[in-house]
Amino acid sequence: MPATTTVIETPRLILRPFHPVDDVADFQRIYGDPLTMAHMNGAKTPEAARLSVERKAAKWATQGYGLWCVVDKAGGQTIGHCGLDLLEPLGEVECAYLIDRPFWGQGLATEAVKASIAFGFERLGLTRIIAISEPENPASMAVMAKAGMVQEGPVTVWGRPFICWVITLGAESPP
């Protein structure tokens, strides 16, 4: 399915394809914040943020799914990214997400993750989706648990330790 037609709305969010030019400034701000990026290898330079937005926009064309730009419906502001991507070191589809620090603690990451998981099961025909988190990131692991994922165990990705979480088709997801 083309990225231009893949938009998901939740009660508080719009998950839409990345726009390789229009989204750059928002993601330079988000990806440039050291606290927001603390568990994502640190803040990105403006050029690295631009390249990241371009890669995210291109993924839909090459693999038929990818990460969405997450927009807060109430204010129309871009607040992060969420979606599905192939985690190549593990050969599995991962639900990845990042929400800008001013929007933490409102359940928005969980809302976006649940929508992404539903898309993977219902539209892509996946039967298993994983997510990984650094052991030192309890907030991220709480998002995974609230989205219905269960801890599978430790994994090493890119030479670093992570905790792998998983949800399988038919698993109950809490409200």
CA distance 97 to 81: 5
The answer as to whether 9 is a domain residue is yes
The answer as to whether 171 is a domain residue is no
Total of domains in the chain: 1
Domain limits for position 101: 3-125
92: CATH = 3.40.630.30
- Burial class from Cβ neighbours inside 10 Å (0-12, 13-18, 19+) for residue 149 reads buried
CA distance 18 to 172: 30
Each residue's pLDDT tens digit, 63-119:
889 999 999 999 999 999 999 999 999 999 999 999 999 999 999 999 999 999 999
Structural contact between residues 106 and 112, judged by C-beta atoms closer than 8 angstroms: no
Residue 3 confidence (pLDDT) above 50:
no
